[in-house]
Structure 1
Amino acid sequence: MVVLALLFAVTAALYASVGFAGGSTYNALLALAGVDHRVFPVIALVCNLIVATGCTIRFARAGLVPWRRLLPLLALSVPAAWIGGMLPVPKQLFLWLLGGSLLVAAILLLLQREREMEPHRATFVGPAVAAPIGLLSGIVGIGGGIFLAPVLHLIGWDRAKRVAASASVFILANSIAGLGGQLTKLSGHPELVKAATAYWPLALSVLVGGQLGSRAGVQILPAVWLRRLTALLILYVAVRLLIQAWGG
């Protein structure tokens, strides 16, 4: 638990320094630690919520959140994340979904290019992907920013810092909704709730790490290094999960 807590703290600090929460990496670390897959989402979403709250406050104070453009995305993703969290998913399907989503996330991280450009006034791509991302996020226990940000960069939705701010709010909102759905699903299984609460030191770790990373106000690592290192870890775990799912 001590090593896992330290890894979570480092992850939170690195992600918070660039405005994200680290849900995909938390899931990867939990998988490597052999944690019960049924409590993955609760642990990861609680940690996401803690880190994303600090990042959102930082971006909001800086006036970087494009609330008017972001609200339609949240209106579509948040209910979907709640539904995703409530869905009972068999272990085999969960492994396929988590492994597949981590594989896609790793590829997106490797291919992502942040471009400074004038935002397009009208695009339907953002709202079109918001609900599917929210649903998947609720099921596997991530905030969805790791999927949303590359899409928004690709379509030139807004400038890089405003995209990061939007992704942070998106992660926060979906983490709250997904966690609500997950806790609703686990309400009839007190043993799983107890198993999840046993990992409370991880929440404390990301609180400390997230605050350090966020308050630094600078990137602890260059964004491109962070993306590549994270992508390699996520890719490794994704392959392991998919092999496990394939082996049944």
Structure 2
Amino acid sequence: MALWLIGAFLATALLYASVGYGGGSTYSALLALSGYDYRLLPILSLSCNVVVVTGSLIRFARAGVVPWRGGLVLSLVAAPLAFLGGLTPITERSFLVLLGISLIAAAVLLLLPTTAQDRPGGGRAARLMPFAAAPLGYLAGVVGIGGGIFLAPLLHLSRWDNARRIAATASLFILINSVSGLVGQLTKAGVGRFSEAIGDGLPLLLAVVIGGQIGSLLALRLLPECVIRWLTAALTLYAGSRLLLG
């Protein structure tokens, strides 16, 4: 396993966990750019997601900022679609194009201003979020991401809650959808693919454990959220552009 890839996974986990995300979108992009087998790629990416957001969610829960009821509604609406996404056959070229477009869209959403801190508790737009969660679940299952990187900006725009509770909601959403998407991927590819992917990617899993713990700590205590969001957006935009430009 290349040292640059291990370092990139650690940095990605650190940045994404800082804003409540798992990093699956960028893990997938980094693996694709490294020439990793695209059939194993979502399995390893989703596994890394689970590792990172589990740690983040535990920290958010201990801090008492997880809106369990609302977060579970969004997550359980999306989870069946994530499973179906994981089952969906897709060619390598289609996978890479869809992933690249998804990354660029995520970067743009990350750069949108977050007004939820000042005016939480949105009206009609906030109540429509479960309808937005369903297609995000399907996308998550297809390309090996958690979907929280798309959900969180929508929650901010709808003034669904304050920024910390939205980050915690994104962690819960990503965890449930990553597990559901992973089950779908393994149903499609066979359980044997899991041991193959994890065996190859063990150093990457260890890297995201370390990065994720540091990142979730920063999310609650140290770095301004706007700085983290800009850094995350820059990384996401770069990875997506590289994929699309070949």
TM-score of the alignment, normalized to the shorter chain, above 0.5 = yes
* Distance in 2, Cα, partners of 1:28 & 1:119: 35
How high is the TM-score relative to the length of structure 1?
0.89
1:94 aligns with 95
Shift of 1:204: 1.0
Q: Deviations over 1:56-88 (max 9, x none)?
A: 111112221112222221221011111101111
SS at match of 1:38: coil
Comparing 9-18 with 174-183, greater Cα deviation is found at 9-18
CA change 1:191–1:15 in 2 (3 A) is closer
2:157 is the counterpart of 1:124 = no
Give the alignment's Cα RMSD to 1 decimal: 2.1
1:68 aligns with 69
1:225 aligns with 227
1:26 aligns with 27
What code does the residue aligned with 2:236 have? I
CA contact (8 A) 1:46 1:175 kept: yes
Structure 2 unaligned spans of 5+: none
CA contact (8 A) 2:110 2:233 kept: yes
Give the paired residue count. Answer: 243
How high is the TM-score relative to the length of structure 2?
0.89
CA contact (8 A) 1:28 1:233 kept: no
Shift of 1:238: 1.9
Structure 1 unaligned spans of 5+: none
Among the aligned pairs, what percent are the same residue? 51
2:176 to 153, 173, 176: 173
* Distance in 1, Cα, partners of 2:185 & 2:229: 28
2:140 aligns with 137
CA contact (8 A) 2:87 2:184 kept: yes
2:185 to 170, 182, 203: 182
2:160 aligns with 157
* Distance in 2, Cα, partners of 1:48 & 1:114: 27
2:58 is the counterpart of 1:43 = no
CA contact (8 A) 1:25 1:230 kept: no
CA contact (8 A) 2:29 2:243 kept: no
* Distance in 2, Cα, partners of 1:152 & 1:217: 18
CA contact (8 A) 2:25 2:99 kept: no
Shift of 1:219: 5.8
2:168 is the counterpart of 1:197 = no
